[in-house]
């Protein structure tokens, strides 16, 4: 049993990657995001940071904390295995969980692989802006945070960076060998090559025909999502792989916003190899 964890900034294409991996019948079908697991791992991460002020009253030491947290996470994964009895591998997605991929690695170590989906910061941020607009239109108050109420490019860029930095900067050769970074643009522009890379990394039975069969093993009726999930709905869900969302930011961001993202996020653009308008 291998656990495949998919993450990346929201609106980066994580659901598309999930659908591709789930095309292998040996995995579970495409299911909802593992928010429950996210909160378990977040609790472990926070407990490490606050160990001296809080954690030491509950655990003997960091090893004790880690063992307890591992038991919680493994119990949840065991529950999933019982729920999807035909699956020999589990494909689990939660975009923001990528912040804690190093923690997941610490807790499980073996039988884990991570897929981090990267997308042009300008397209990602413009898509997040559109999500915020839909939240306001729908009166969604539960998730309508300051990130979505204010068109603040600095906050969006900070959020984007916070998703990728922990995994990218984690100094462990073993962790990095178990992590695949894949760009959304590569996936939609050259899907067969991207599929080959994913097949080599995961060992899953992914074939070129799977490019046309994405969404076939989908338990989530995306068009019927309720409450908080609705603003995140994309009309590309359930559709063939498409390049139509590349450089969509030009229709959403103004020139000043693009300039700010490119200059303030210059390191990201260079790191991930995205072209700049002022080059």
Is residue 102 within 8 A of residue 167, CB to CB? The reply is yes
Contacts of 27 (CB under 8 A, 6+ apart): 4, 21, 87, 88, 89, 90, 91, 204, 217
Q: Which domains does the chain have, with CATH numbers?
A: 3-119+164-241 (3.40.50.300)
In tens, the pLDDT along 160-212 reads 999 999 999 999 999 999 999 999 999 999 999 999 999 999 999 987 655 56
Q: Which residues pair with 89 in a beta bridge?
A: 27
Name the percent of the chain lying above pLDDT 90.
76
The pLDDT tens digits for 148-174 are 878 999 999 999 999 999 999 999 999
CB 253 within 8 A of CB 261: yes
Q: What average pLDDT score do residues 8-34 get?
A: 94
Contact status, residue 141 vs residue 77, Cβ threshold 8 Å: no
The pLDDT of residue 27: 96
* pLDDT (mean) for 90-117: 98
Contact assessment for residue 140 and residue 99, using Cβ atoms and an 8 Å cutoff = no
């Amino acid at each position: 049993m291998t656990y495949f964890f998919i993450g990346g900034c929201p609106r980066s294409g994580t659901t598309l990657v999930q659908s591709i991996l789930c095309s292998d019948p040996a995995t579970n079908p495409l299911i909802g995001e593992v928010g429950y697991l996210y909160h378990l791992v977040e609790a472990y991460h926070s407990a490490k940071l606050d160990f001296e002020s809080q954690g030491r009253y509950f655990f003997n030491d960091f090893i004790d904390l880690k063992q307890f947290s591992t038991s919680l996470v493994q119990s949840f994964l065991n529950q999933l295995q019982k729920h999807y009895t035909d699956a020999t591998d589990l494909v689990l997605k939660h975009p923001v969980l990528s912040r804690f991929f190093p923690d997941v690695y610490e807790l499980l170590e073996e039988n884990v692989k991570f897929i981090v989906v990267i997308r042009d910061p300008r397209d990602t941020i413009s898509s997040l802006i559109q999500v915020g607009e839909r939240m306001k239109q729908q009166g969604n108050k539960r998730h309508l945070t300051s990130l979505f109420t204010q068109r603040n490019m600095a906050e969006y860029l900070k959020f984007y960076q916070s998703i990728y930095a922990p995994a990218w900067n984690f100094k462990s050769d073993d962790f990095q060998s178990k992590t695949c970074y894949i760009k959304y643009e590569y996936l939609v522009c050259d899907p067969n090559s991207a599929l080959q890379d994913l097949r080599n990394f995961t060992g899953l039975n992914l074939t070129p025909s799977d490019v046309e069969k994405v969404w076939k093993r989908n338990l989530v009726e995306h068009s019927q999502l309720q409450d908080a999930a609705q603003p995140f709905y994309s009309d590309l869900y359930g559709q063939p792989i498409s390049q139509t969302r590349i450089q969509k930011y030009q229709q959403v961001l103004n020139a000043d916003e693009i300039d700010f993202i490119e200059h303030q996020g210059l390191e990201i653009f260079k790191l991930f190899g995205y072209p700049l308008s002022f080059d």
